[in-house]
Amino acid sequence: MNCKLAQTRPDGYFEIRAFHRGANGKRDPRFLLKCGCCDNKLEVYYGGDSLEINGVMGSIENWRELLMPLLEMKLPGQGKRVLVDANRQPSPRRNAPRSNSRIRAAKTQRGGA
């Protein structure tokens, strides 16, 4: 049993488990990255000027061109995650319909209820 499974980070995501194996004979050094909540894994072999990620071989420069824009990108909702308390009751204000709702205005124009 892996005791490090499901360790939560302060930003709300699970901690990625990282393992390193050095070069041994003809074997290239490797980083093994495992998911924090399950047994999915990503193997990264490196050596010289090449990098193999999950069986896809490429130059370091090629991988840099592909991955750097992804790591620098900010998408809507990509900030820190807020942990939600499952026992907390929803606010009654959230469930109440808004008086200036576009849907309500469209219904009244059509003569709907």
In-domain check, residue 84: no
Tell me the pLDDT tens digit for each residue of 8-51: 888 888 899 999 999 999 889 999 999 988 889 999 999 988 99
Q: What is the pLDDT of residue 48?
A: 86
Selected residue with higher pLDDT from 109 and 54: 54
Selected residue with higher pLDDT from 109 and 27: 27
Number of compact structural domains in the chain:
1
In-domain check, residue 13: yes
Say if CB 15 and CB 2 are below 8 A apart.
no
In-domain check, residue 2: yes
Domain residues for 48?
1-75
d(CA 52, CA 41): 14
In-domain check, residue 89: no
Say how far residue 59 (Cα) sits from the centre of its chain. 25
Say if CB 47 and CB 29 are below 8 A apart.
yes
Q: What is the pLDDT of residue 76?
A: 73
d(CA 47, CA 23): 9
In-domain check, residue 91: no
Tell me the pLDDT tens digit for each residue of 41-100: 999 999 988 999 999 999 999 999 999 988 888 777 666 666 666 666 666 665 555 665
